[in-house]
Amino acid sequence: MSRTRIKICGLTREEDVDAAVAAGVDAIGFVRYAKSPRHVSAERAAELVRRLPPFLSSVLLYVNAAEEQIASDCALIAPTLLQFHGDETPIQCESIAKACTRPWIRAARIPLGSAAQFDLIEFTQDFHHAQAILLDAEVEGYGGGGKAFQWSLLPPSVNAHLVLSGGLTPANVGEGVRALRTRGFSLGVDVSSGVEADGPDGKPLKGIKNADKILQFVEAVRAADARED
């Protein structure tokens, strides 16, 4: 059985990048969307990317960004992948990726209460040039809301590499992996709020990760990979 790839997204600090690398993740994501509390500047993202060892992917996340901004970022940061998380059309994604000479992934925003009504097959066909389709919950603000959609209602067979996101934590990611690992060509998981440090009010400190939670998340994914069911 193939190994589930792991991405930690929304990093803003050196110590969190180092913790993710030490835990053995496959990719690290940086948010280039100014309205997000996890946003980092291009210069800051470049600093953090320089900490990554060889063969570990860096991903820049965008929401309806101008092609000029993304091209400028790519020249400075040289990311491995682009992630489109807004309302970008297939033509826009392909045009930007071609200009930046980068592969890309596209987020599908799945309604929380009606996952079965979202036509993932059609979405995948529309974005067939994407390297993968990222499955996230539809929340206000284009993701990062820590909400999970109904995984079991997705189609049983999708002609794409899939990345599960939205509301994942060390406690539930194993269930998500087991539910979706046979539905696409391969499966990855993407977590942000689920591995963040807790604030005084018990809510996640957005952009501040917890090294223990990152390690627990990775261990939970690997344990799910090891199971046959």
Query: How do the domains of the chain map onto residue ranges?
Result: 5-224
Give me 18's structure tokens.
């180092």
Q: Which of 9, 74, 93, 100 is catalytic?
A: 9
- Whole-model pTM? 0.94
CATH superfamily of 5-224: Aldolase class I (3.20.20.70)
pLDDT in tens, the chain (229 residues): 589 999 999 999 999 999 999 999 999 999 999 999 999 999 999 999 999 999 999 999 999 999 999 999 999 999 999 999 999 999 999 999 999 999 999 999 998 776 667 899 999 999 999 999 999 988 766 665 677 888 888 899 999 999 999 999 999 999 999 999 999 999 999 999 999 999 999 888 999 999 999 999 999 999 999 987 6
Query: 10 Å Cβ neighbour count for 215?
Result: 17
Phi, psi of 215 (to 5 degrees): -65, -40
Q: Which of 16, 73, 136, 190 is catalytic?
A: 136
Phi, psi of 92 (to 5 degrees): -65, -45
Tell me the C-alpha distance between 109 and 156, whole Å: 18
Give me 54's structure tokens.
């060889």
Tell me the C-alpha distance between 152 and 130, whole Å: 23
Tell me the C-alpha distance between 201 and 215, whole Å: 23
What is the per-residue pLDDT for 152? 84
Tell me the C-alpha distance between 143 and 167, whole Å: 10
What is the per-residue pLDDT for 114? 67
Burial class (CB in 10 A: 0-12, 13-18, 19+), 9: buried
Tell me the C-alpha distance between 140 and 180, whole Å: 25
18 catalytic residue (yes or no): no
9 catalytic residue (yes or no): yes
